[in-house]
A and B are shown apart, each in its own frame.
Chain A
């Protein structure tokens, strides 16, 4: 028995926006898509009365760039062996992930209305056994990167060229398991692995730097053997470049500087919006800004 892929196993494994696309045009398209995702998040959380809107908004441009212009995945063959692996380690931002997956075609957009309803597939944290496109169940923090490291080691063992992407919250980096995985990935020189830090500088209760300091964050990743790129986490062209430029011999860490609650003025950079639920009036105001 072996790992040899079937013929044409890569058919369909491509992002919707082609790699040959004009960068400015791509960025414009991604921006429009991200707005749709944020609008969906507002509606889902408003309807459900529960969610993590601040982190959903900070990660929306990262998710959009990955799923619509980078990841080689196929919604019609979600378990294709040679697909890229994407893991949302900050699993509490499930509403943004579900919106992205639905709009990417993994399941019907109409199903987003069932978010966290009793017996819905769309649990408050993602479940791979229920939702197509989810690679790993996350929720407790510090779990995504070790799994991502395992998938990247697997790709190398299989001599396959697919890549693994893990999106981490910044506060999440206070979990020690991330650094076990970071050390391992650096030692192994996993240049098929990208960790993206959604650096919005806020955690549930306060600023990260007032809670348990993360800086100098880039130096910390570099010290663990990673190639580090820092960029504006809401600049789609910069994110695209950071996700696609090669990083031979080292895993890459993209520190994406973001604003928690990005896109809605009264939610941006306010700690209380970690998991606050908007009122009906606030939903209408938010949707007016998200155009």
Chain B
């Protein structure tokens, strides 16, 4: 099987655009909204925000530890800080600040991991944020949100601005098609969405992997497998009821994420499944420091594509 380009592909979107537009819209209505960044005005898509609200864009320079601490201080002062930095540096460099200054303090800081996963492709593993889900899942009280498309991004940013608790949002750079069904509520914190019903196998995906899971479900349907596709846009807290139902009703689960396989979405699903309804699983994700290549190349390299998901589902069902 190959990943031949499909005809008339659906339009795709950079979720940073939806993020930036939503942040501006919120900031117009609420002067408590501030953005904090680490010299990432451009890469965090904050140029428009800076033009409209120069004082409310706090650029601390290339200093992520200070950036997160400043965010916590602004929350203490009554503001709603969106702390924006490239995912790898925000989460890796400032991990203790995220744990202590934000989560342990309980300050409602919105941590925005820009261009997460392997979006920075050829820049290499230093610039990939594949460990973020694992690291941050272990931190008590920190919500983890991974929007799959612009509609989810918009809704998640609206939710985060009102949240009384801290959270981390992955804001994707990798272009994604819309996956939110028309007319549906795009996002609710803590809710996983069943995008396609099926009783033979479940594919549980997050972020840029959701559209690939839907494509895999089409292929699997041709082969007689009715595949349930679940979009987990809140990785923590996990929507356990939806996952348990999938385990009980389909008997097999493939998870797929643009993240390290240790401790991320797959691990979260496995922890729930093993406690409540043990079923065979396959966990697809990033399994090593990436070789050189574009994000698209690296998705294929790690089998994080339609055919990789199909193969995992077929293998699981053939046991």
Contacts and interface: CB of A to CB of B under 8 A. Distances in A.
The answer on A and B forming one complex is: yes
Interface of A: 1-3, 81, 85, 127-129, 135-140, 142-143, 145-155, 157-158, 164, 176-177, 180-181, 183-184, 187
Given A136-B72, A143-B69, A147-B76, 16 more contacts: A2-B30, A127-B104, A129-B105, A142-B65, A146-B97, A147-B101, A148-B73, A149-B66, A150-B75, A150-B77, A158-B78, A164-B73, A177-B97, A184-B61, A184-B63, A184-B70
A72 to B, nearest CB: 15
A157 B32 CA distance: 9
Interface string B59-89: 0110101101111111111110100000000
A1 B70 contact: no
Given A157-B79, A184-B63, A151 B74 contact: yes
B68 A146 contact: yes
A174 to B, nearest CB: 14
A3 B65 contact: no
Nearest to B72: A147
Interface string B267-306: 0000000000000000000000000000000000000000
Interface string B30-54: 1110101000000000000000000
Contact of B73 (A2, A128, A149): A149
Contacts of A136: 72-73, 76, 101, 105
Contact of B77 (A2, A127, A158, A184): A158
B66 A181 contact: yes
Contacts of B65: 142, 146, 176-177, 180
Interface string B85-106: 0000000000011001100111
B4 interface: no
Central interface residue in A127, A146, A158, by most chain B CB within 10 Å: A146
A176 B97 CA distance: 13
B164 to A, nearest CB: 12
A135 B69 CA distance: 13
A81 B72 contact: no
Which are the 10 A-B pairs with shortest beta-carbon distances?
Answer: A150-B73, A146-B69, A154-B77, A180-B66, A150-B70, A180-B63, A177-B65, A151-B73, A147-B73, A146-B66
Given A143-B100, A146-B70, A177-B66, A151 B30 contact: no
A169 to B, nearest CB: 16
Nearest to A129: B106
B78 A183 contact: no
B58 interface: yes
Contacts of B77: 85, 150-151, 153-155, 157-158
Nearest to B83: A150
B55 interface: yes
B56 interface: yes
B29 interface: yes
Given A3-B32, A137-B104, A143-B69, A154 B76 contact: yes
Nearest to A134: B105
Given A85-B76, A137-B104, A139-B100, A157 B69 contact: no
Contacts of A1: 29-32
Central interface residue in A128, A137, A139, A150, by most chain B CB within 10 Å: A150
A88 to B, nearest CB: 14
20 contacts: A1-B30, A135-B76, A137-B100, A143-B97, A146-B68, A147-B69, A147-B73, A149-B70, A149-B73, A150-B70, A150-B75, A151-B73, A151-B76, A154-B74, A157-B55, A176-B65, A177-B97, A180-B60, A180-B66, A183-B63
A150 B72 contact: yes
A153 B70 contact: yes
B97 to A, nearest CB: 7
Contacts of B78: 3, 81, 154, 158
Contacts of B61: 183-184, 187
Given A3-B31, A81-B78, A129-B106, A154 B66 contact: no
Contacts of B29: 1
A96 B69 CA distance: 24
A165 B80 CA distance: 22
A136 B73 CA distance: 9
Nearest to B73: A150
Given A1-B31, A184-B60, A137 B105 contact: yes
Contacts of B79: 154, 157
B105 A149 contact: no
A181 B104 contact: no
A154 B69 contact: no
A255 B69 CA distance: 22
Contacts of B58: 153
Contacts of B32: 1-3
Contacts of A140: 96, 100
A153 B74 contact: yes
Contacts of B75: 150
